[in-house]
Structure 1
Amino acid sequence: MQTEKIIDHIVNWLKDYATQAHVNGFVIGISGGIDSAVTSTLCALTGLDVLCVEMPIHQAPSHVSRAVEHIEQLRDRFSNVRDTRVDLTPVFEEFKTEVSLDGKDATVAMALANTRARLRMSTLYYYAGLQELLVAGTGNKVEDFGVGFYTKYGDGGVDLSPIADLMKSEVYALAKVLKIPTSIIEATPSDGLFGDARSDEDQIGASYPELEWAMKMADEGKTIDDFSGREKEVFTIYKQYNTSNKHKMEPIPVCNIPDNLM
């Protein structure tokens, strides 16, 4: 993997896209995780305006501290980086008073977790419209095209995706060259949507290295019957997520009206 050349390629792609779109730069939600840290640094390298937005909603202190550390480091390194903090906790709590919370506990918890992501998306697009910026997505290849581990119209609602063709392991490789804080590189991946310490692996049931392996096997045409033990378990998890989340990864279905009915 030619890490530095990949970085240059992404930075030039970002710069060209923004120039052709006639915008000032990019707005990015900073979570304290590896993906948003790498994406925001790549955007900063374009030299264009970059607005980093921290949007806590009952956030774990460790997530907040890592986000603040990254933003401070980024501002020290790049004069084109600005930041703002929008505490969405009161908005989220008010939302809960206006909707029904009836249902199974797990279902309600997931619906509210997705609501957090969608509130953040709305906030990013507010600033994007206000300051003529593009919303930069932070999803990687495994999340976006493997298991669909993101919120539809939440963190999946973006204008462009700089790292969506990179596996999670490749994102980590870029992070080291981009001088991402060690605290972020070593942190356990977590979407932070539940306000507790659960990790992505806790939710999915497999680690990112395992999911990368499963994605590669699926691309090679392997089936569940080709594996046993933990490999079979991981491949099954991957296929279940990949199948159930197709609605996120494919274009919105359009009902085409036959010509003879028009």
Structure 2
Amino acid sequence: MQTEKVIDHIVNWLKTYATNANIQGFVVGISGGIDSATTSSLCAKTGLRVLCVEMPIHQPESHVTRAQEHIAQLKKRFANVSDVRVDLTQTFETFKTALPAAETETNPGLELSLANTRARLRMSTLYYFAGLHGYLVAGTGNKVEDFGVGFYTKYGDGGVDLSPIADLMKSEVYALAKELGVPESIQVAKPTDGLWGDDRSDEDQIGATYDELEWAMYQDEKGKTVDDFEGREQKVFSIYKGFNNANKHKMEPIPVCEIPNELK
């Protein structure tokens, strides 16, 4: 990959889109992860205003430290970058108390529902600031997450105005991050969605690394099936296809029930 040229292409794409939309800047949620750090760095290079929003909800200290380190260095390098911190922990807890009581033992989806609620609270917060300033919400999803395994929250971190890195594999995002000067602490940290209040990684949840998922995505695009592999490769391909099939509802347009003309 021609990293420098890819960076220039994305930066010009962002600037052109914003200019055509008569928008003056971008809002980016900063998690302390590689995707949000890369996205905010690309937005900063446009010269347009960039608001970095930190939104902890019971976040591990390591996530908070990395997010703050990135924001501090980005503000030092780019005069067009500002930041705001909104601690949503109490908001999240208040929301939970408004819901009917549910026991985890009888409601296995409770933990996941609450995790996705965190992402949706953050989305609402980003759009609050976007509306306040007339900015666009820049998405932080990469290709394998957005179009491979669908590893994001529908109407949460999937709710954005534009997606600057969604055509890049995770490995390519890392290449851009290095070129963009993203802090080393973020480059070496294990990827995590930060929705659980602990340090569980994406690999812990998915069962495969991003390098493995990229491989599986390429194999799937070639028309391969699970029977074409054995051992670990078969396991990884099966994991990829499982997530891909289960999350089609995120990756495809919302189904619309079309009414026949004769019934109208």
TM-score by length of 1: 0.99
Offset from partner CA, 1:144-197 (integer Å, 9 cap, x none): 000000000000000000000000000000011000000000000000100011
Match of 1:15 in 2: 15
Q: Tell me by how many angstroms 1:101 deviates.
A: 3.9
1:198 partnered with 2:200 = yes
Match of 2:142 in 1: 140
Match of 1:34 in 2: 34
* Secondary structure of residue in 1 paired with 2:109: helix
**Distance (whole Å) between structure 2 residues aligned to residue 107 and residue 135 of structure 1:** 29
Match of 2:235 in 1: 233
Match of 2:170 in 1: 168
* Secondary structure of residue in 2 paired with 1:157: coil
**Distance (whole Å) between structure 1 residues aligned to residue 230 and residue 104 of structure 2:** 34
1:98 partnered with 2:106 = no
**Distance (whole Å) between structure 1 residues aligned to residue 80 and residue 117 of structure 2:** 31
Match of 2:219 in 1: 217
Q: Identity of paired residues, percent? A: 73
Q: Tell me by how many angstroms 1:104 deviates.
A: 3.4
* Secondary structure of residue in 2 paired with 1:247: helix
Instruction: Tell me if the contact between 1:66 and 1:184 (Cα under 8 Å) persists in the aligned partners.
Output: yes
**Distance (whole Å) between structure 2 residues aligned to residue 198 and residue 90 of structure 1:** 22
Offset from partner CA, 1:61-117 (integer Å, 9 cap, x none): 000000000000000000000000000001000000001241435411100000000
Match of 1:49 in 2: 49
* Secondary structure of residue in 2 paired with 1:64: helix
Instruction: Tell me if the contact between 1:31 and 1:63 (Cα under 8 Å) persists in the aligned partners.
Output: yes
Indicate which of 165, 182, 207 corresponds to 2:209: 207
Aligned length: 262
User: Letter of the aligned partner of 2:65 in structure 1?
Assistant: S
**Distance (whole Å) between structure 2 residues aligned to residue 76 and residue 17 of structure 1:** 26
Match of 1:186 in 2: 188
Instruction: Tell me if the contact between 1:101 and 1:108 (Cα under 8 Å) persists in the aligned partners.
Output: no
Match of 1:118 in 2: 120
* Secondary structure of residue in 2 paired with 1:27: strand
Q: Tell me by how many angstroms 1:24 deviates.
A: 1.0
Instruction: Tell me if the contact between 1:191 and 1:199 (Cα under 8 Å) persists in the aligned partners.
Output: yes
User: Letter of the aligned partner of 1:230 in structure 2?
Assistant: R
User: Letter of the aligned partner of 1:79 in structure 2?
Assistant: A
User: Letter of the aligned partner of 1:188 in structure 2?
Assistant: K
- Computed over aligned residues only, the root mean square deviation of the Cα atoms, in angstroms, reads 0.7
Match of 1:107 in 2: 109
**Distance (whole Å) between structure 2 residues aligned to residue 28 and residue 197 of structure 1:** 22
Runs of at least 4 residues of structure 1 off by over 2 A?
103-106
Match of 1:2 in 2: 2
* Secondary structure of residue in 2 paired with 1:65: helix
Structure 1 unaligned segments of length 5 or more: list them: none
Offset from partner CA, 1:116-158 (integer Å, 9 cap, x none): 0000000000000010000000000000000000000000000
User: Letter of the aligned partner of 1:73 in structure 2?
Assistant: Q
* Secondary structure of residue in 1 paired with 2:84: strand
